[in-house]
């Protein structure tokens, strides 16, 4: 879009799974899986099939001859990716040949939930862990560059893309060229906290379908462009086509959050990897509550962004927002601020029309906001907007932690024994 924004009057976003037919001049869908119709499946839950399908998806993405690692936030999804990779490397000739451990990477404000959980998972798996700290001010300073690269003004995407952008820059500087990441699981299994309020399995399943179909506009856009801005490749095993088909063929009744049965969000995935004989992860990590990336890097990150936006966007500007931005009118000062930055780089209507809009709570679609009447008063994509569900919901966490003034930590990225990371990270041969 960067190269075309000055010359094109109109952009047409290719829907996922479509191609352009030069004969008919229309877009035709080439990817047409069973779940695309949103019909309700009835296949019983098979935890062993889920586990085997996911392990195959991870191993398939280890075909590479470049230094690689895993983005490890300490949440369920990235921790499972790291666990499966670590096990595979330990059991193959590739690991014995190179004699190296898996390298994992995490970013956050000092003291953030993700940093603590990721370190614990890394210690449990025995990986070479690289912990990167950033401050609220460093994130704010990078906002314009982030928006330029990810080409969106969507609030939650920008919140999460900024730390990922900063982390990708550091990872690439260390010689790593490919990383595995955990995107896609929350969309497939209904992992976002607002799914607690799904009224029935039909609504639950249809929402997961909507979320998967929109991934190219949100999480996949973030994972792709935040990393590729620095020449880093991200691979996402949860979005393996075969794995999606297996997971989306499960009767959604099993995916429903049932507190009376002890089922929290993504229970079908957690249970599939709950192995007492050869544990994949510590129990409390395997059953850690969903934490959105933009929250997990530190709650004061989002609070700092809101404060920064309030300093640049006045009340009078918000009153006139519908006249200045009639399409996808920003409803918060934070959204207004991102929109002004986006318009500076991409001023044409063709560019702004490629960004989706609509109300959202904890990353929900506009349709899911209808599940709880109280949500319409707390429209925020943060997981903490899921009132009564998140352990640190806004109503329970009104204090704002001060932003850290410490600079980016460099020492934790130094390879052991003075070796360069490009030499110590094990490339994997074709598996």
Residue 239 has pLDDT above 60, yes or no: yes
Mean pLDDT over each residue of the chain, to the nearest integer: 85
In the structure, what pLDDT confidence band is assigned to residue 31 with cuts at 50, 70 and 90?
A: confident
Continuous H helices in 255-383? 267-272, 283-286, 293-296, 299-312, 315-319, 321-324, 333-345, 349-352
The 68-71 sheet, strands edge to edge: 128-133, 103-108, 68-71, 178-180, 233-235
* The two structure tokens encoding residue 378: 């707390």
**Can you list the domains of the chain with their CATH numbers?**
38-385 (3.40.50.620)
Which positions ≥6 away from 308 have C-beta within 8 Å? 140, 337
Q: Where are the beta strands (DSSP E) in 221-304?
A: 233-235
Percentage of the residues of the chain whose pLDDT score is greater than 70: 80
pLDDT in tens, 179-224: 999 999 999 999 998 999 999 999 999 999 999 999 999 999 999 9
pTM of this prediction? 0.85
Which positions ≥6 away from 10 have C-beta within 8 Å? 350
Q: Report pLDDT for 198.
A: 93
Quick one: average pLDDT of 230-239? 98
Kindly report the number of other CB atoms within 10 A of residue 423's CB atom.
Answer: 11
Query: What are the φ/ψ torsions at residue 300 (nearest 5 degrees)?
Result: -70, -10
pLDDT in tens, 303-353: 999 999 999 999 999 999 999 999 999 999 999 999 999 999 999 888 998
Q: Where are the beta strands (DSSP E) in 75-228?
A: 103-108, 128-133, 178-180
């Amino acid at each position: 879009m960067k190269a075309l924004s000055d010359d094109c009057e109109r952009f047409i976003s290719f829907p996922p799974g479509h191609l352009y037919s030069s004969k008919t001049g229309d877009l035709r869908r080439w990817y047409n899986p069973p779940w695309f119709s949103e019909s309700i499946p009835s296949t019983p839950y098979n935890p062993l099939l889920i586990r085997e399908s996911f392990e195959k998806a991870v191993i398939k993405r280890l075909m590479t001859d470049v230094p690689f690692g895993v983005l490890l936030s300490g949440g369920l999804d990235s921790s499972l990716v790291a666990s499966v990779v670590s096990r595979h490397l330990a059991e193959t000739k590739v690991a014995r040949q190179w004699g190296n451990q898996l390298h994992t990477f995490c970013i956050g404000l000092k003291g953030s939930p993700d940093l603590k959980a990721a370190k614990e998972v890394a210690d449990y798996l025995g990986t070479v862990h690289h912990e990167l700290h950033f401050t609220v001010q460093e994130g704010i300073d990078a906002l314009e560059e982030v928006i330029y690269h990810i080409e969106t003004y969507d609030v939650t995407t920008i919140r999460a893309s900024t730390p990922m952008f900063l982390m990708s820059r550091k990872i690439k500087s260390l010689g790593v060229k490919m990383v595995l990441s955990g995107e896609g699981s929350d969309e497939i299994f209904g992992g976002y906290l607002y799914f607690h309020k799904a009224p029935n399995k039909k609504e639950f399943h249809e929402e997961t379908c909507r979320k998967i179909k929109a991934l190219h506009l949100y999480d996949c856009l973030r994972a792709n462009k935040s990393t590729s801005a620095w020449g880093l490749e991200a691979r996402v095993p949860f979005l393996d086509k075969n794995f999606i088909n297996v997971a989306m063929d499960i009767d959604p009744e099993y995916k429903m959050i049932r507190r009376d049965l002890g089922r929290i969000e993504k229970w079908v995935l957690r249970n599939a990897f709950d192995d007492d004989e050869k544990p994949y992860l510590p129990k409390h990590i395997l059953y850690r509550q969903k934490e959105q990336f933009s929250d997990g890097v530190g709650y004061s990150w989002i609070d700092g962004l809101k404060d920064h936006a309030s300093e640049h966007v006045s009340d009078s500007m918000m009153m006139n927002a519908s006249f200045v931005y009639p399409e996808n009118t920003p409803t918060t000062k934070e959204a207004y601020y991102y929109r002004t930055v986006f318009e500076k780089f991409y001023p044409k209507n063709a560019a702004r029309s490629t960004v989706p809009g609509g109300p959202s709570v904890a990353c929900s679609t506009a349709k899911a906001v209808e599940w709880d009447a109280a949500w319409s008063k707390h429209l925020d994509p943060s997981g903490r907007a899921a009132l009564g569900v998140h352990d640190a919901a806004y109503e329970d966490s009104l204090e704002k932690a001060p932003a850290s003034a410490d600079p980016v930590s460099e020492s934790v990225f130094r390879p052991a024994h003075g070796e360069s990371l490009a030499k110590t990270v094990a490339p994997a041969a074709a598996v």
